[in-house]
Amino acid sequence: MEVLVPLLVQLIAGGAGGNVIGQLAKNLNLGTTGNSIVGAIGGLAGTWLAGMIPGLDSLVGAAAGTGGLDIGALAGQGATGLVGGGVLTAIAGIIKSAMAKS
């Protein structure tokens, strides 16, 4: 259970980030389902990448290193998941737009 909660936080935050980017930038929109899926993957990847950056690793990795669930680490994972989901959705939207033009 302690492993599942951080993953769910990352997936949900990433999906939310993807949908926010899709709504703000209409030319990057992949549709609600596409934004959610790509955003969720970006949420996982963004948190994983943030864990490799010195300084951020203690913020996002603390939930896995302790015996219990740390609300600060979950908040950090949610924030990095949100950003990661938004970034990956934007990248996928740019690629989709470029492919549609050619």
Domain ranges of the chain: 3-100
Ramachandran region of residue 18, left (φ > 0), alpha (ψ -120 to 50) or beta? alpha
Per-residue confidence (pLDDT) for residue 94, from 0 to 100? 96
Contact (Cβ atoms closer than 8 angstroms) between residue 51 and residue 61: yes
pTM (two decimals): 0.87
What is the C-alpha to C-alpha distance for residues 39 and 87, in angstroms, rounded to an integer?
8
pLDDT, tens digit, 9 for 90 and up, residues 36-93? 999 999 999 999 999 888 887 777 775 444 445 788 888 989 999 999 999 999 999 9
Nearest to 79 by CA among 31, 22, 10: 10
Per-residue confidence (pLDDT) for residue 68, from 0 to 100? 56
